[in-house]
Amino acid sequence: MDSQTTQTIKLPILQPGEYDLWKMRMEQYLQCIDYTLWEIVENELKARSTLLMALPNEHQLKFNSYKDAKTLMQAIENRFGGNTATKKTQKNLLKQQYENFAASSTEVIEQTYERLQKLISQLEMHGEVISQEDINQKFLRSLS
């Protein structure tokens, strides 16, 4: 991979409540940087360091005690992924946010669209399927 490509890839930072999306992006990031990062022992330190850098600053010290990437990833999943009840609650909250979605008077149309797309992505990660027609109607109705 050339240095120009490496410079354009941005490390995904974990946001609380968005573990599933972060995990998917993190796997893609690691595959782009070094496909064998998880598999080769000599890259273990690099994988662990990369995972720690992807955490918000306030969480890095909490996870620093994990000495290998695999247990660190498991700890991150346990902390941010949540259990079945947590995921169900989060799914219900996302559904409610989708139902009540409205454009803000302070944002431009692109920001409203991006916010809706993010919400839809999160719902899809929880197994919800929303038709493109419903999405279009929701977006159009949300505009003032």
Domain residue ranges in the chain: 3-81, 84-142
Q: For position 92, what pLDDT does the model report?
A: 92
Query: Which runs of consecutive H residues, i.e. helices, occur in 79-144?
Result: 84-99, 109-125, 132-142
* DSSP 8-class letter at 80: I
Q: For position 67, what pLDDT does the model report?
A: 83
pLDDT tens per residue across all 144 residues of the chain:
444 444 567 888 888 888 888 887 887 787 777 656 555 544 677 888 889 889 988 888 888 888 888 888 888 887 787 778 888 888 899 999 999 999 998 999 999 999 999 899 888 878 889 999 999 999 999 987
* C-alpha 70, offset from chain centre: 19
Rounded Cα–Cα distance for residues 6 and 1 (Å): 7
Q: For position 40, what pLDDT does the model report?
A: 57
Q: For position 2, what pLDDT does the model report?
A: 46
